[in-house]
Amino acid sequence: MSQCIHILPEELCNKIAAGEVVERPASVVKELVENSLDAQADEIRIEIEQGGRKLIRVHDDGQGMSRDDAFLCLERHATSKIRNDADMFALDTLGFRGEALPSIASVSRFTLRTCLKGETVGTEIQVEGGIVRQAQDAGFPVGTQVEVRNLFFNTPARRKFLRREETEIGHIADIVTKQALAHPQVRFLLKHNGRVLVDARREKGLVDRTGLLLGRTLAEELLPLEMSSGDGLHCRGLIAPATTTRSTTGAIYTYINGRYVRDKVVQHAVLEGYRGLLMRGRYPVVVLFLEMDPGEVDVNVHPTKHEVRFRQQRQVHDFISNAIREQLRKDYRPEHQPNTSSEGGRESVLPVQDGSLEQNRKPAPPEVMSSQADVNARPTDQRNTAEHVQEPLQPFGSQVAQPGKVPAVSSLQEGPESFFSTESATKDTENRFFRNLRYIGQYQGTYLLAEYGQELVLVDQHAAHERVTFERLKRQYFKGRVEAQRLMFPVVVELDFQAASALETVLVDLERLGFELEAFGGRSYNLKAIPQLLGEGAPEKLLQDVAAEVLRYGDSAQIEEQMENVLAGMACHSSVRAHQILTETEVLALFEALDQIDFNAHCPHGRPVVKRFSLYEVERMFRRT
Ligand code: ADP
Ligand code: MG
């Protein structure tokens, strides 16, 4: 045989292309909605059945297609959007590859109905697994409807990867949210199994649309942003103040020239704008539209076009982060900065010189300064400092230690080994490491300094508290259920679509997690009780975090592992922050509590709780050895 290479048949090519473009039902919705938007639709109706496994139908009132075009659009690389490669760099449409429709049609039972503006009769074409089965004239209003049934019916491997209905519809709702945010002038209707999930009527603008999709209360907090550079970059949108955060990057919505992107450079730039203002592991809420010369950005670098490449990457990056920072600086007030971080720490501990945010942030409000100075002088005066802490410290039940009753360290033997072991602490081998610390004071409102024999010990108060809360929650959870505490005033929490559908999957587990929740219609829940250990702090945010955590680990993890992750998120939520003044009583209670839990020197997210320096190390720093 002299020839072993052959050209693949068209249907197979389409199937291969589908492998890239059509990952799951949500990707079909994305492609179809983009086509409707490109066709200038005013209204897009999306109907889904069984998470998209059974049916995806997208109907628009856009310009429609002629009979010839209706056939052509099913061919590979058939597009009306570009003609030559120069057009690729002057794009004003979302599509341009001409791959979506043939790809989708190759892995489903596909029906296209369309009628061109100005025509009276439309066209209907039925395709099965990429092969046209039937075509006829059909009465149809101007616009286009694509019906996708039995997705992946002929690619069983793919079909197997489909997740639970709730998960798939969550992804679909997320896609619709992303598109609907960018097009407030278009009506979006999303139905699942006959139930309306999204009905975004044409809104006056971004604020209304954001309120509708992401929640009214959130939208009210968001700060408007608008900025232009001298050289053709423009951005506008809504950004959350640093106090409103999420536990994932899921609420960062960024667009370039109207196209949703999940690009590393853009994302980094956004986070850079918030640098130093958020706790580690917390992320902002941002809806940001960047407009630029299409020639400056290549969108053809990723199958889903979510990643892009900029000609002037640095410039775009800095433009975005400066715009955000500038807006946050305007909004800046000391009480807005409860979690100023210790993160950037290592590289630069000095205030920067340009008069920007860092410098403004540096001095603590005067009252806090003085109470901080007073901590040692009046260790028992808890009230004095308590009013300055941003989030109340949860009392450690009955184990509150008495100040001044710190036992002296007798020897070094009992502490270290058991402390660093990962074994559970049992009654007989109870840890005494923390109880045997001699507390010196608080450094930067973040680290607890103590002496242990000849050692200098630094404890990260947030990590420590998080660990304690996590262990206690876990103990309660695995014993039966986390103790709940009824809220004095139940709160109505409005979640976004993805979060709401994530929660639906774990409603039963939520009860075991110490929540009492009542569906309140749509995406709203009436939250009546929360885990007792977490205090009444910010129940709404807590529930948002739990939903985000479930989403993040939803499909991949075993239920037990998933719950551990959720518990870790909950613990973090409630914990003492960095930059929170603690009284000596509170510190000693925390030390005591640390001794009583099973732990291994790290917070549930892996950061160390404690660092120890030997006398030798300290002396070496001062060249005394
Ligand atoms: P692309 O969007 O990259 O051009 P598609 O396969 O998604 O490729 O669509 C092929 C062509 O079919 C489009 O270029 C457009 O001309 C036409 N088309 C697809 N969907 C619609 C629609 N909803 N309304 C009008 N025309 C459409
Ligand atoms: Mg397209």
Indicate whether 49 belongs to any domain.
Answer: yes
Indicate whether 41 belongs to any domain.
Answer: yes
Best residue among 36, 45, 73, 81 to mutate for probing ligand 1, ranked by most atoms within 8 Å of CB: 73
Indicate whether 4 belongs to any domain.
Answer: no
Per-residue pLDDT at 88 exceeds 50: yes
C-alpha 28/C-alpha 347 separation (Å) is: 45
C-alpha 147/C-alpha 114 separation (Å) is: 11
| Average pLDDT rounded to a whole number, residues 92-120 | 94
Q: Domain check: are 464 and 600 in the same one?
A: yes
* CATH at residue 132: 3.30.565.10
Q: Domain check: are 106 and 73 in the same one?
A: yes
Alpha-carbon distances, residue 614 vs 233, 343, 451 (angstroms): 54, 25, 10
Structure tokens at 613: 């320096």
Tell me, what amino acid is at 58?
A: V
> Does residue 61 line the site of ligand 1, with CB under 6 A?
no
Task: Estimate to the nearest angstrom the gap between the alpha carbon of 450 and the chain centroid.
Answer: 37
Q: Domain check: are 121 and 186 in the same one?
A: yes
C-alpha 54/C-alpha 108 separation (Å) is: 10
Select, from the ranges 147-151, 554-558, 618-622, the one with the highest average predicted confidence (pLDDT): 147-151
Q: Which residue has the tokens 């060249």?
A: 623
C-alpha 18/C-alpha 29 separation (Å) is: 14
Of 183, 200, 217, the domain-final residue:
200
Contact at 8 Å (CB) between 168 and 26? yes
First-to-last C-alpha distance (Å) of the chain: 80
Q: Domain check: are 376 and 439 in the same one?
A: yes
* pLDDT above 90 coverage of the chain, percent: 42
Q: Domain check: are 476 and 347 in the same one?
A: yes
Confidence of residue 375 (pLDDT cuts 50, 70, 90): very low
Q: Domain check: are 411 and 304 in the same one?
A: no
Q: Domain check: are 124 and 243 in the same one?
A: no
Ligand 1 nearest atom to the CA of residue 97, by list position = 3
Per-residue pLDDT at 307 exceeds 60: yes
- What residues does 289 pair with on adjacent strands? 236, 255
> Minimal CA–CA distance to 482: which of 542, 525, 432?
542
Ligand 1 nearest atom to the CA of residue 103, by list position = 6
Of 271, 297, 331, the domain-final residue:
331
The rounded mean pLDDT for the chain is 79
Ligand 1 nearest atom to the CA of residue 63, by list position = 25
CB within 5 A of ion ligand 2: which residues?
35, 95, 100
Q: Domain check: are 431 and 471 in the same one?
A: yes
Cβ-based neighbours of 338, under 8 Å, separated by 6 or more:
243, 390, 391, 577, 579, 580
Alpha helices in 332-488 (DSSP H): 357-361, 366-374, 382-386, 416-420, 461-479
| Average pLDDT rounded to a whole number, residues 221-247 | 92
Per-residue pLDDT at 363 exceeds 50: no
> Does residue 498 line the site of ligand 1, with CB under 6 A?
no
Of 176, 200, 224, the domain-final residue:
200
Domain count, the chain: 3
Residue 66: phi and psi, rounded to 5, are: -75, 170
Contact at 8 Å (CB) between 509 and 567? no
Indicate the helix (H) or strand (E) that contains 341.
Answer: none
Residue 492: phi and psi, rounded to 5, are: -90, 125
| Average pLDDT rounded to a whole number, residues 57-79 | 95
Q: Domain check: are 378 and 295 in the same one?
A: no
Indicate whether 193 belongs to any domain.
Answer: yes
> Does residue 299 line the site of ligand 1, with CB under 6 A?
no
Give the pLDDT score at 57: 98
Tell me how crowded residue 63 is: count the other CB atoms within 10 A of its CB: 18
C-alpha 375/C-alpha 382 separation (Å) is: 9
Whole-number Å distance, alpha carbon 126 to ligand 2 midpoint, is: 18
Indicate whether 543 belongs to any domain.
Answer: yes
C-alpha 490/C-alpha 478 separation (Å) is: 26
Q: Domain check: are 362 and 381 in the same one?
A: yes
Which residue, by CA, sits nearest to atom 19 of ligand 1?
A: 35
Q: What is the pLDDT of residues 19-48, one digit of tens each?
A: 888 999 999 999 999 999 999 999 999 999
Of the bound ligands, which one is closest to the alpha carbon of residue 91? 1
Tell me, what amino acid is at 330?
A: K
Indicate whether 24 belongs to any domain.
Answer: yes
| Average pLDDT rounded to a whole number, residues 222-233 | 93
Tell me, what amino acid is at 415?
A: G
Ligand 1 nearest atom to the CA of residue 101, by list position = 6
Which residue, by CA, sits nearest to atom 14 of ligand 1?
A: 79
Q: Considering just the CA atoms, what is the radius of gyration of the chain in Å? A: 29
Give the pLDDT score at 280: 66
Q: pTM for the whole thing?
A: 0.64
Give the pLDDT score at 548: 80
DSSP 255-269: EETTEEE--HHHHHH
Q: What is the pLDDT of residues 486-539, one digit of tens each?
A: 888 888 998 888 888 888 877 777 888 888 988 887 788 899 998 888 776 678
Provide the sign of the torsion angle of the four alpha carbons 405, 411, 412, 416, taken in this order.
Answer: negative
Contact at 8 Å (CB) between 96 and 81? yes
Tell me, what amino acid is at 392?
A: P
Q: What is the pLDDT of residues 541-577, one digit of tens each?
A: 888 888 887 777 655 445 666 677 788 888 877 666 6
Domain that holds residue 41: 10-200
Q: At CA 586, angle to CA 401 and CA 370, rounded to 5?
A: 135
* CATH at residue 273: 3.30.230.10
Q: Domain check: are 487 and 359 in the same one?
A: yes
Q: Domain check: are 312 and 388 in the same one?
A: no
Which residue, by CA, sits nearest to atom 27 of ligand 1?
A: 35
> Minimal CA–CA distance to 434: which of 445, 454, 418?
418
Indicate whether 144 belongs to any domain.
Answer: yes
Which residue, by CA, sits nearest to atom 20 of ligand 1?
A: 35
Whole-number Å distance, alpha carbon 99 to ligand 2 midpoint, is: 7
Helix axes 559-574, 539-553, angle to 10 degrees: 150
> Minimal CA–CA distance to 282: which of 601, 577, 81?
577
C-alpha 415/C-alpha 433 separation (Å) is: 5
C-alpha 604/C-alpha 606 separation (Å) is: 5
Indicate whether 50 belongs to any domain.
Answer: yes
